Amino acid sequence: MNLKDTFHVFKESDNFFVSLARDILTVLFAVLIFASFSQVVFGMWTPMVAVESGSMEPHMNIGDIIFIQSIDRTHVITYEEGMNNYTSFDNYGNVILYKPYGQEGVTPIIHRAMYYVEEGKPMWEGGPAAPYAGYITKGDNTQTNRYYDQQGQISYLMPVKEEWIIGIARYKIPYVGYLRLMIPSF
């Protein structure tokens, strides 16, 4: 049997194991295509995160899937800069995904970059001096996020360094992330 005949038998067979192998290969092919597309468009193999808290409501809700563009492919526009006519997720500036304190293996934070502060400058009006240059961040939810992340437990007194930023939020798909949130992390 030549290669063409073998392919035809594989494609048309009703045998359970052949059908299972065909389905597995189809899924693997689809994942490969999606991952390649994601790498080209977003600069990341896995460009999605599920929103786990209400800190960004009403612009991002628990269970939303957010598509992230790699920081290597773009630059951050802060809330302060965005006031000159740039919005994202119904507010000024970019929403960034960052590693709190730059730590690996912890859940990243997805909050808005409010402004950039230089080393030694006050982190907010009347606030302490920044130990180094970085972004001051805050969630959009006015009920749960009345203060900057750097004033509370998320990134206490530590601006977000550029190298801590994973990427910038670009798009969302509502509710689809609930499926991800129901699966435990290992």
| Grouped pLDDT means (10 residues each) for the chain, 186 residues | 74 81 82 73 74 96 93 94 96 97 92 98 96 98 95 93 96 85 68
pTM of the predicted structure, to 2 decimals: 0.79
CA–CA separation, 60 vs 137, rounded Å? 16
Across 11-74, where does the E strand assignment appear?
A: 48-50, 65-70
- Amino acid 56 reads M
- Written as one letter, the residue type at 138 is K
Rg of the Cα atoms in the chain: 22
Residue 17 per-residue DSSP state: H
Domain(s) labelled CATH 2.10.109.10 in the chain stretch across 48-182
Contact indicator for 50, 79 with CB cutoff of 8 Å: no
Longest CA span, the chain: 81
Q: What is the pLDDT of residues 4-13, one digit of tens each?
A: 777 777 777 7
In CATH terms, the fold of domain 48-182 is Umud Fragment, subunit A (2.10.109)
What tokens appear for 72 in the block?
């290597």
pLDDT tens digit sequence for 104-143:
989 999 999 999 999 999 999 999 999 999 999 999 999 9
